[in-house]
């Protein structure tokens, strides 16, 4: 499992469209609160991020390939949120669950930075994964449950 931060309804949709991903779960991850609710994160902004936990079969897709999907679906140069979502809880992060995953994520980040095609430096941190806390049920698969709202959000 890996965790990727950003607006979870968008990141969840991006990874659900990767055919070999087994499951995505909208979560909160970070610091300060034990078992936070989405409302608690929204109201108090305690350092938790909206993330998704991604379950995958390493025999069908590598961790590095999933990291590459992440880089293509977020703005890794924006530390103030993602797209129209402006808050530190929407900031990007990659949560590594093993030392090897952390090494691969750092290596991938370095390679993208070295290409020089981004106008600003990458600010997405690579963090050790702590506990993931699934959000309330109405946030799970939001893009499928609210397709019109989701399409309007992505369009804007």
State pLDDT tens for residues 74-109. 889 988 877 777 777 788 889 898 999 999 999 999
Other Cβ atoms closer than 10 A to 8:
27
Which of helix, strand or coil describes residue 82?
Answer: strand
Predicted TM-score (pTM) above 0.95? no
Tokens linked to 153: 């959000």
Instruction: List beta partners, residue 94.
Output: 4, 126
Q: Give the per-residue pLDDT at 130.
A: 79
pLDDT, greater one: 25 or 151: 25
Rounded to 10 degrees, the C-alpha dihedral 79/30/149/83 comes to 0
Please say if the pLDDT value at position 126 is more than 90.
yes
Starting from the edge strand earliest in sequence, which strands make up the sheet with 133-134, in order? Answer: 126-128, 94-96, 2-5, 49-56, 21-29, 133-134
Going by the DSSP 8-state scheme, the letter that residue 32 receives in this structure is S
Average pLDDT over residues 128-142: 78
Average pLDDT over residues 129-154: 77
Average pLDDT over residues 107-120: 93
pLDDT per residue as tens digits for the range 32-42: 555 555 454 45
Could you tell me if 48 and 32 are in contact, meaning their C-beta atoms sit under 8 angstroms apart? yes
pLDDT band at 29 (very low <50, low <70, confident <90, very high): confident
* Average pLDDT of the chain, as a whole number: 81
Give residue for tokens 């699934």: 134
pLDDT per residue as tens digits for the range 38-61: 454 454 545 668 888 899 999 999
């Amino acid at each position: 499992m890996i965790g990727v931060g950003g607006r979870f309804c968008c990141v969840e949709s991006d990874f659900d469209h990767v055919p070999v991903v087994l499951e995505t779960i909208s979560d909160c991850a970070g610091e300060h609160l034990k078992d936070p609710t989405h409302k608690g994160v929204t109201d108090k902004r305690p350092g938790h991020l909206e993330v998704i936990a991604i379950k995958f079969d390493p025999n069908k897709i590598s961790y590095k390939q999933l990291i590459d999907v992440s880089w293509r679906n977020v703005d890794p140069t924006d530390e103030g949120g993602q797209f129209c979502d402006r808050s530190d809880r929407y900031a990007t992060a990659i949560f590594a669950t093993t030392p090897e995953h952390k090494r691969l994520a750092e290596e991938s980040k370095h390679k993208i930075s070295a290409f020089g095609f981004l106008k600003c430096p990458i600010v997405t941190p690579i963090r050790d994964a702590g506990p993931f806390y699934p959000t309330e049920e109405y946030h799970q698969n939001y893009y499928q449950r609210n397709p019109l709202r989701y399409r309007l959000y992505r369009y804007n």
